[in-house]
Structure 1
Amino acid sequence: MAAMNPQTELRVRTLSIHVVTWNVASAAPPPDLSDLLQLNNLNLNLDVYVIGLQEMNCGIMSLLSDTAFEDPWSSFFMDVLSPLSFVKAQTSVARGSLELLPALCRSEVSSVRMQGLLLLIFAKYQHLPFIQILSTKSTPTGLFGYWGNKGGVNIFLKFYGYYVSIINCHLPPHMANNDQRLEHFDRILEMQNFEAQDIPNILDHDLVLWFGDMNFRIEDFGLHFVRESIKNQCYSDLWEKDQLSIAKRHDPLLREFQEGPLLFPPTYKFDKNSNNYDTSEKKRKPAWTDRILWRLKRQPQATIHTPTLSAPHFTLFLRSYVSHMLYSISDHKPVTSTFDLELKPLVSAPLITLLPESLCTEESDLLISYSLTADFLSSPWDWIGLYKVGLRHINDYVSYVWVRDNQVSFSDGLNQVYIDISDIPETEDQFLLFYYSNNLHSVVGISKPFKIQPRSFLAEGPLDEAQPQI
């Protein structure tokens, strides 16, 4: 019998990704975003949320407040998604530099903000060991390239071993500025280089998700014709005059970016707190300004109804591309896409395996056993955090331990450390352990949920002053 090819033993995984783009026009979050996040769709089992906002409140007082504290939108999304096991995928400042950096300079790389632009990534916690944030970039294009009211923000990551870039952008407005929009599109693309990661060009990445308020307009047709076409849901004539669609027909690079069919009404410009298109004196012509595009490496020619391939085992299917008329806090309607990403993981096992079955308590300490792969390079600043299930982000640890400082034994690849649990009251809550790698700036191991057996806890004791910060 012929030997089995090791590649055939890898199982294909299907992961669902929900992408949101919304120009929120400086508004605060509405009370309910269930429709936007598809929380009531029982047919969806989402793994990742990618959320891009434009025109967040970027007044000086708001920016200072959001630097010191979580901005209202990020906080809102964390409150909604954390009970569903979603965590912001993020990185940390190295332990040795904590004393050198003020608190306001510590970065969260699961999110990146440039004035009014915000980009967030949430993933179910079991995926975190396979998500490595490699870099973030902000590319301002406003005021001759120095002002961040327009431009793009990017998160570049490894996802189960594949390179993925995610870009949220806000391009120049107005009908006459189409050439400028295309120029800014090219400029943002040119600035996404990552020499330090040995991936010199964004076009070498396996997947690029590009979305935002692109501000492309509908040419030629007058206001009355456009509004009547929308009223009668006759969009085909409008598609022919959509500036982005026209540019994609002529620009070889843009042509490589795909988009779902525009089967929803133009998403701009509405009177706030209504579903009526602009009734002001300007009476701006409706347009599909808010778009979600994607590009897969080495993709063949394909239609929207067929899968598109970037590599032998990396396949993307578009499940939905819709607007959400329910929300009226802005003059834009939000747009979402849901994708199924089918892949054979290039990384199929975590670098660290935490063993909850080996947990035992002794006085005020919890003994943790863990193993690591042969190619994992540990650091003196690696740490293990103890979390309650439902954490909002990685700063929400209830206790932690520096693995080198508190190591008690190791043999045959099995390591053991104690973690202080004296501050934890008796509870029936479930807990998780995260192993954070300082070298990789990411979570590389997560335990299964477990309970700490009720016991008599000691009085509270002080925490180590050098706490891990994100």
Structure 2
Amino acid sequence: MEEDLSGALNSISLGQKDSEIMDSFGLYVVTWNVATAEPPDDVHSLLQLSSPKKPDLYVIGLQEVRAAPLKFVSDLAFDDSWSHLFMSTLAPLGYVKVTSIRMQGLLLLFFSKLDHVPFIRDIQTTFTRTGLYGYWGNKGGVSIRLSFYGHMLCFLNCHLTAHMNNASHRVYESEHILDAQTFDAKNTPRILDHKAVFWFGDLNFRIEDHGMNFIRNCLTSQRFDLLWPKDQLTMMKKKETVLQKFEEGPLNFQPTYKFDLNSDNYDTSGKKRKPAWCDRILWRVLSKSLQKGVVEDGEDKEEQKKEQEEEFPLRVAQESYTSKMDYNISDHKPVVGNFCLELRKIYDTPLVQVCAEGDWSADFDALITYTPLQSFSSSAWDWIGLFEVGFKSISDYVTYTWVKDDQVAFIDGFQIYVSKDDIPVRGGEFVLCYYSSNFQCIVGVSQPFKVQGSRAAIEEGCLPENIDGLNQAVAS
């Protein structure tokens, strides 16, 4: 029955793809060396939340997050202050933290609108230390790779060696990180195997030769283009093959390093370090001839790769590239890049359909139904979680139930009961999410539904009579 259903859905999906146009998704990338500072009170401007068009994905890379031993241990046990701020800001707008990775001062966060979460799979993270000859993580790179509607993407956040005379060493570190980071995947074992790669961070490249007076005159007159020829990254891209693989938008914004703290003045200390574009965002889309598809024995590999690219293309366009000068808690200014991902979905059906059956109340046991829509390897460790609408991350569930415990098969799928003791007495608006242990991600999300608060609690005056009153009480 399940195989027939899966086959029917797949045939419908493949039939539709012949006539589908490309889908567009917004990606917003942030890189910021925060110089061990605590986060500001507000990041709405940083995330451009006043814009009427919200991105589908946020990728936030920080460097020099405070990593003193006691604080680092507490950050591992609980969300660090930066993660907490971004989650608290984005969750009410419908974004979920899908995954993250931390290596000492390097932090990389990946957020998605909830609608896309069931189509984000094959998530893996890794890191590479380059400080103290590879033994210390104050420098290096952290990465997240994943499948987005079937297209393999990788995001790499780096903090490379500092100082003017280390340009060649920065290139060496970049090559080492790109080569050393590997993933448990047949077709995309390394970063550069992915269909699209976004590389960003405090790359620490400086402006050579020009004196301080010339640089300041260029900045005052906003003739940034006069400084580009002596930007080390621009210079290195002309001769280093690995850098030539990446694109970057024009540097039409002020150098983002080095500022006096809590000011917009470049370094006035005795060192008077020259301004530089240390903080960068680059990207690369794998060329058609190198893209890897699923290749069957006996088939022409190059021909199949070409056919897959023609059927499921991916294009990346940068819509804006700038700095956010209104943040001054660090000696670096944050840099943001707004991208459009244009792609044809390789899959557009979730693995599992999840539903809350009937009316839910904290006074009665509740019923969940779930139906596999495609064949996949389920596990006894799969679970379905109850999440409040606006939840922050996958670990932010209210309660959960194992799918293999007390499940009952019926004609269209499976049913599981949830004890009334596990349902929040205050009620509210919730969604159900099916978490796959094998995929290590959410593969199905229900429609939002309301849960009626406990009648006994309402009668005792612990809860208001209606959901509007409940929401006002929770907000206050």
Q: Quick check: TM above 0.5?
A: yes
TM-score of the superposed pair, with normalisation by structure 2? 0.85
Moved more, 253-262 or 213-222: 253-262
Deviations 1:219-274 (A, max 9, x none): 11111101110111001110011010111122222112011110000000000000
Task: State the alpha-carbon separation in 2 of the partners of residues 184 and 51 from structure 1.
Answer: 21
Match of 1:411 in 2: 410
Contact 1:258 1:294 in 2 (8 A): yes
Task: State the alpha-carbon separation in 2 of the partners of residues 299 and 258 from structure 1.
Answer: 16
Task: State the alpha-carbon separation in 1 of the partners of residues 107 and 271 from structure 2.
Answer: 29
1:7 aligns with 2:17: yes
Match of 1:393 in 2: 393
Contact 2:208 2:230 in 1 (8 A): yes
**1:411: Cα distance to partner?**
2.7
What residue identity is the alignment partner of 2:247? Q
Among 250, 258, 261, the alignment partner of 1:269 is 258
Task: State the alpha-carbon separation in 1 of the partners of residues 422 and 154 from structure 2.
Answer: 40
Task: State the alpha-carbon separation in 1 of the partners of residues 109 and 128 from structure 2.
Answer: 16
What residue identity is the alignment partner of 1:267? T
**1:41: Cα distance to partner?**
1.3
**1:67: Cα distance to partner?**
1.6
Taking a change above 3 Å as real, the CA distance of residues 10 and 428 of structure 1, as seen in their structure-2 partners, is farther
Deviations 1:288-335 (A, max 9, x none): 0000000001169xxxxxxxx998521112111010110000000000
Q: What SS does the aligned partner of 2:238 have?
A: helix
Task: State the alpha-carbon separation in 2 of the partners of residues 435 and 396 from structure 1.
Answer: 14
**1:438: Cα distance to partner?**
0.8
Taking a change above 3 Å as real, the CA distance of residues 457 and 369 of structure 1, as seen in their structure-2 partners, is farther
Among 10, 30, 52, the alignment partner of 1:20 is 30
Task: State the alpha-carbon separation in 1 of the partners of residues 177 and 373 from structure 2.
Answer: 38
**Aligned runs of 1:56-75 on 2, under 5 Å?**
56-75=65-84
**1:202: Cα distance to partner?**
2.2
Task: State the alpha-carbon separation in 2 of the partners of residues 458 and 274 from structure 1.
Answer: 53
Task: State the alpha-carbon separation in 1 of the partners of residues 19 and 370 from structure 2.
Answer: 26
Deviations 1:11-41 (A, max 9, x none): 5321111100000000000111111011111
Which consecutive segments of 4 or more residues in structure 1 shift more than 4 A? 309-312, 357-363, 425-428
Match of 1:315 in 2: 315
1:331 aligns with 2:341: no
Match of 2:237 in 1: 248
Task: State the alpha-carbon separation in 2 of the partners of residues 87 and 34 from structure 1.
Answer: 16
Task: State the alpha-carbon separation in 1 of the partners of residues 284 and 69 from structure 2.
Answer: 36
Match of 1:380 in 2: 380
Among 129, 132, 138, the alignment partner of 2:121 is 132
Q: What SS does the aligned partner of 1:50 have?
A: strand
Contact 1:27 1:57 in 2 (8 A): yes
Task: State the alpha-carbon separation in 2 of the partners of residues 129 and 265 from structure 1.
Answer: 39
Match of 2:434 in 1: 435
Task: State the alpha-carbon separation in 2 of the partners of residues 458 and 197 from structure 1.
Answer: 54
Moved more, 264-273 or 375-384: 375-384
Task: State the alpha-carbon separation in 1 of the partners of residues 86 and 136 from structure 2.
Answer: 27
Taking a change above 3 Å as real, the CA distance of residues 232 and 250 of structure 1, as seen in their structure-2 partners, is same
What residue identity is the alignment partner of 2:445? I
Task: State the alpha-carbon separation in 1 of the partners of residues 192 and 18 from structure 2.
Answer: 28
1:84 aligns with 2:93: yes
**Aligned runs of 1:334-353 on 2, under 5 Å?**
334-353=334-353
Q: What SS does the aligned partner of 1:194 have?
A: coil
Task: State the alpha-carbon separation in 1 of the partners of residues 78 and 378 from structure 2.
Answer: 31
Contact 1:86 1:122 in 2 (8 A): yes
Match of 1:293 in 2: 282
Taking a change above 3 Å as real, the CA distance of residues 195 and 400 of structure 1, as seen in their structure-2 partners, is closer
1:365 aligns with 2:365: yes
How many residues get paired?
426
Among 46, 55, 58, the alignment partner of 1:36 is 46
Match of 1:445 in 2: 444
Contact 2:25 2:340 in 1 (8 A): yes
Match of 2:298 in 1: none
Task: State the alpha-carbon separation in 2 of the partners of residues 298 and 359 from structure 1.
Answer: 52
Among 150, 154, 172, the alignment partner of 1:183 is 172
Q: What SS does the aligned partner of 2:455 have?
A: coil
Q: What SS does the aligned partner of 1:113 have?
A: strand
Contact 1:19 1:51 in 2 (8 A): yes
Q: What SS does the aligned partner of 1:452 have?
A: strand
Task: State the alpha-carbon separation in 1 of the partners of residues 418 and 40 from structure 2.
Answer: 40
**1:59: Cα distance to partner?**
1.1
TM-score of the superposed pair, with normalisation by structure 1? 0.86
Deviations 1:349-374 (A, max 9, x none): 00001134656569532101121024
Contact 2:87 2:96 in 1 (8 A): yes
Q: What SS does the aligned partner of 2:74 have?
A: helix
Taking a change above 3 Å as real, the CA distance of residues 143 and 310 of structure 1, as seen in their structure-2 partners, is farther
**1:192: Cα distance to partner?**
2.3
1:260 aligns with 2:269: no
**1:111: Cα distance to partner?**
0.9
Task: State the alpha-carbon separation in 2 of the partners of residues 412 and 241 from structure 1.
Answer: 69
Per residue, is there more helix in 1 or in 2? 2
Task: State the alpha-carbon separation in 1 of the partners of residues 280 and 164 from structure 2.
Answer: 16
| Structure 1, unaligned runs of 5 or more | 90-109, 301-308, 460-470
